Copies of this chain bind each other. A is one copy, B any other.
Amino acid sequence: MEKPQITRPEDACGKGFDKVFAFLREQFLAGAIKPGDRLTPERELCQRLGVSRPVLREALRALAMIGVVEILHGVGTIVRRPDVSVLGEFFAFALAQRADMTDDVMQARIAIECQAIRLACQRATLADIERLRGALDHIRSTIDDPTAGAEADHAFHDAMVRASKSETLLCLYQAMGEVLRQSHRDRRDLVRRYGNMKDHVAQDHERLFQAIVARDERNADDILRKHFAIGDEYRRRAALADPSAPT
């Protein structure tokens, strides 16, 4: 007739999956397990936690999904520091079926890049400047190639965000990586259609680079905003001319 019969005190919290997840979560947040560690083998761990292997594996998969651990077949389960790549996965799902969202993501891009360029003005090292210069050269040399041009464009902006030396900004920026690349490709399609836009692209990035070198925060911010505004203007124009084109 007696029911629960809790074998151990620490079992008081959730059962099964929740228990395992909470345990691992606590271990991680408390620093008991750190990035780089190899987790206890599944068979032993599930026995120690008093759950079955499938349940333990559910928890591990869940943690793997947000990048807390990496499961390697035949090797073991390694603890990792959550990486932005998982946010990419999240955004892929979050932005699905929301075509309008692509446009809205641009606002986040502007937000991050404008703050990044300000920080870059304060913090950019010589190496950052050199990287930006290289990206700038690449933009000039690929101005007529939509694909390579889009990559070069993205590389420049990426280098800019890196120069901000803010991991959080970089994290958010990379999280939107896939969507941003698409945005760059779209823009380059416009370049092909509107010849004079070619000049804008080269000039804008040149001025952005100069502003960073001059460490003129405010000016850099302004130039960047205008750069985005012009792209937006062209996009709008294209949308009017060809309603079937992506907005």
Residues on A close to B: CB < 8 A? 17, 25, 28-29, 31, 34, 54, 57-59, 61-68, 81-82, 86-87, 89-90, 92-94, 96-97, 101, 104-105, 107-108, 110-112, 114-116, 119, 164, 166-169, 171-172
Query: Which of A86, A90, A116, A172 has most chain B Cβ within 10 Å?
Result: A90
Given A34-B97, A93-B28, A169-B111 contact (CB < 8 Å): yes
Asked if residues A164 and B119 are in contact (CB atoms below 8 Å), the reply is: no
Residues on the B chain within 8 Å of A116, using CB: 111
Which chain B residues border A110 with CB–CB below 8 Å?
115
**In the bound complex, what is the Cα–Cα distance between A93 and B21 (angstroms)?**
13
Copies of this chain per assembly: 2
Check B89 against A66 for contact (C-beta < 8 Å). yes
Chain B residues contacting A94 (CB-CB under 8 Å) are 81-82, 171
| A64 partner, pick from B62, B90, B97, B171, beta carbons under 8 A | B62
- Chain B residues within an 8 Å CB radius of A58: 54, 57-58, 61
The answer to whether B61 touches A168 (Cβ under 8 A) is: no
State A57–B68 Cα separation when bound (angstroms): 19
Is the Cβ of B93 less than 8 Å from the Cβ of A168? no
Contact of A115 among B54, B64, B107 (CB under 8 A): B107
Cα distance A48–B25 when bound, in Å? Answer: 34
